[in-house]
Amino acid sequence: MKRILITGASGMVGKHLLKSLKSKKNILISPTKKELNLLDKKLTIKYISRTKPDIIIHCAAIVGGILFNKNNQTRMLSENLEINNNLINTAYNLGIKRLINFSSSCVYPNTNNKHKEKEIFDGNYEKTNEGYALSKFFSMKLCKFINEDKKFKYKTLIPCNLYGPGDTFDPKRSHLISSAIIKVSSAKKNRDSTVVIWGSGKVKREFLFCSDLANFVKFSMHNFNKMPDFINVGTKTNLSVLDYYKLICKTVNYYPKFKFDKSKPDGVYQKKLDTSLQNKLKWKNKVDISTGLKQTYNFYLKHYAKN
């Protein structure tokens, strides 16, 4: 029986991890932020010493959309840096041998090529997301150094953009898909003929459904020794922002005109991951974009639309 500690269990990914890993063979430890505040190192040491997990899945982070990240660079760097340092170093010092760390595609250089794992340490981050990227870079480097002690295996997953039920539908912090659902749904409700899209609408993004990522974590735990230290987790989907808006209009069944606010940042032109290592492990996502959008929209209707 494995004792599995999941940080950030109340977030979108964490909730899907709890479902995916629920088993008679697993004891899931899923503290709230009040029970385990990772910004408090003493509390972190005390909690992990008491719960004694066999493996830690670390997906806790301060996150936001492009404008939130751009306007909160100091917080995104300093708080995420502290969270990652406290959790990973505590696990190492207490002898926790296995850990799965979550990074982000923002650690890759600002280029238009498919991103391969070997490019991780090349730098040149996209400026609107630099603080968050640096904090994730630190966590990966720390795990890499810890792995030099062969008794430890700290793996880092680098997923593309994520979406799904449990996503953030706060207009100030939401990402592309949740933000678009809010805008198109509101336009339908208010019978607005126009929806404003930030930026040019031309930049491309790759999205993975959150339950697929949870399933990859479960797959990783069963194939831990085969896993490289760093691995991209992605899909074949690589659509423009405008394409996603059109798909969401189809999902919501409302078709407004689009207006582009080019005073807002686009971010990097493309964030497509190279999934060669993932393919070698013979894993691929199951949820297609249309099905995922329907489930995400239904979640929004149930939990947010009435508000």
Q: Which residues are catalytic?
A: 132
Please report the beta strands in 76-186, taking only residues with DSSP state E, as ranges in sequence order: 98-102, 153-159, 161-163
Q: Is 74 exposed, middle or buried (0-12, 13-18, 19+ CB in 10 A)?
A: exposed
**Comparing C-alpha atoms, which of 129, 76, 100 is closest to residue 14?**
100
Q: How far apart are the C-alpha atoms of 93 and 247, rounded to whole Å?
A: 48
For 241, the token pair is 């922002």
Beta partners for 27? 3
| Core vs surface per residue 175-208: b (16+ CB within 10 A) or e | bbbbbbbbbbbebbeeeeeebebbbebebbbbbb
For 114, the token pair is 């498919």
Residue 156 is classified by DSSP as E
Helix-strand-coil percent breakdown of the chain, rounded to 5? 45, 20, 35
> With left for phi above 0 and alpha for psi between -120 and 50, is residue 166 left, alpha or beta?
left
- Residue 144, helix vs strand vs coil: helix
